[in-house]
Amino acid sequence: MDIKSYIRDVPDFPTEGVVFKDITPLLKNPQAFNYAIDKMAELTKEFNPNKIVAAEARGFIFGAPISYKLSVGFVPIRKPGKLPYFTVGEEYFLEYAKEKIEMHVDAIDPNDRVVIVDDILATGGTALAMSHLIEKLGGTVVGMVFLGELSFLNPRDKLKEYEIKSVLTY
């Protein structure tokens, strides 16, 4: 299945000069969405994780069903003030803004084998910040899995110490 055809480019969103990869056409098509989840789950399984970590909001769309398919734990990462328990945070830069993410202080156990899952790998800033949070709590990032990767932004340069797998490359 050609799932690239279900991802549309939206120019100048969220700011001028950014071409946003919109996954909503893929999500509304059950066959394309199922195919994407199955492909990402296959890639994730190769890392033999015991936890999947994903950031809101689009990461949840892929991380939770992959966690379910592989029978492993799911850990949400959210924006500040959205989690109801004690948190640890990390600031990072997107291609268009400075952000901060948080996760619960008890979300990762020492020796957890964690795979980071998200929709699109752009500059690598979010994935790197997520890695730092996982490692602060004693977990090991054994891999990262993305639906799509924007290779022209060179995100792997920022993530050299991690193994990355993507279903699609742009």
The one catalytic residue in 46, 91, 95, 163 is: 95
Question: Does residue 78 have an active-site annotation?
Answer: no
Query: What does the DSSP assignment read for the chain?
Result: --GGGG-EEEET-SSTT-EEEE-HHHHH-HHHHHHHHHHHHHHHHTT--SEEEEETTHHHHHHHHHHHHHT-EEEEEB-TT-SSS-EEEEEEE-SS-EEEEEEETTSS-TT-EEEEEEEEESSSHHHHHHHHHHHHTT-EEEEEEEEEE-GGG-HHHHTTTS-EEEEEE-
Question: Does residue 58 have an active-site annotation?
Answer: yes
Cα–Cα distance for residue pair 170/150, rounded to 1 Å: 5
For 24, residues 6+ apart whose C-beta sits below 8 A from its C-beta are none
Q: Where does residue 42 rank: exposed (0-12), middle (13-18), buried (19+ CB within 10 A)?
A: middle
The one catalytic residue in 42, 58, 78, 99 is: 58
Which residues participate in catalysis according to the annotation? 58, 95
